A = this chain, B = another copy of it.
């Protein structure tokens, strides 16, 4: 079994109050793949141009990412430039050069059809639908489909987005985008609206404040964010979060465990952990260098940071 991601692989230029980097590894699928591959085998469907730097490819290969779905087309790789404001909560896009990504049509290799988890990273909902159209054969019964989205698609492709929402099991969405999609200021009402479309699990991302987990059967779990010393570069934090969350779930499925409510909670904590590591350095630098023992240590910190009843390992 394995986890399939479809999304953007890009070359980024980033400015934050802590510095700037030029032509670094980026794109939602890059952050996701490097994070999720710490937990399970990742299969990547994306497109790059002939200018895609070999060291970026090597970073995927070092983690055993299956690249049979990565198309190299003649032309330029998707390039994105962004500048963060002092508070790191808002950013300006400096440029977007789609390059070969403009003509991206996902083509899922046959060998990927048995993936246990599918992550539709933040791309046009029409492309997310196209992936699902191709994934109809050989699907394991327990297959989980998850999607991420953004305000742009809520505004410009709402109907297609609604079509995808009806076909997925897990939705990862920022709090303000959940409210925006549902047209309400009440997060609870927004969550009910999203569940009415079919998903069984909702992950509401709150940026530097953590994440909330809702399930269609009424369960709720909240995980605060890891208290970082500095956020050097928040680019890709949400995708690394998705990688930790779905990577953990995929690893449990691969190990033969039926997923429990507790697995989803622990997955959310792993999402927070990977999101926090992603912010510690520019581009994918920190996630690329991350080790399982660093994840385990931060997980123990999270248990200590959040528990106040019952027994847990740390002495109080």
Contact = CB atoms under 8 A, between A and B. Distances in A.
Contacts of A229: 186, 188-189
A221 to B, nearest CB: 6
Complex copy number for this chain = 2
Interface in A202-221: 206, 209-210, 212, 220-221
Interface in A261-311: 261-262, 265-266, 268-269, 303, 305-311
A210 B212 contact: no
Contacts of A312: 309-310
Contacts of A206: 209
Interface residues of A, number: 41
Interface string A79-90: 000000011100
Interface in A170-226: 185-189, 206, 209-210, 212, 220-225
Interface string A228-243: 1110000000000000
Given A17-B185, A261-B316, A303-B310, A222 B224 contact: yes
A210 B186 CA distance: 17
A309 B126 CA distance: 40
Nearest to A210: B224
A269 B224 CA distance: 13
Contacts of A88: 185
A285 to B, nearest CB: 19
A28 to B, nearest CB: 25
A110 to B, nearest CB: 38
A49 to B, nearest CB: 36
A260 interface: yes
Contacts of A220: 227, 305
Given A212-B227, A224-B222, A224-B224, A266 B308 contact: yes
Nearest to A184: B230
A313 interface: yes
B308 A310 contact: no
A232 B188 CA distance: 14
A163 B104 CA distance: 62
Nearest to A192: B229
7 contacts: A86-B185, A221-B305, A222-B224, A260-B316, A261-B316, A265-B308, A307-B309
Given A88-B185, A209-B210, 18 more contacts: A86-B185, A87-B185, A187-B227, A189-B229, A206-B209, A220-B305, A221-B308, A223-B308, A260-B316, A265-B308, A266-B308, A269-B308, A303-B308, A303-B309, A303-B310, A307-B307, A310-B310, A310-B313
Closest 8 CB pairs of A and B: A310-B312, A222-B224, A209-B209, A265-B308, A262-B316, A310-B311, A310-B310, A303-B309
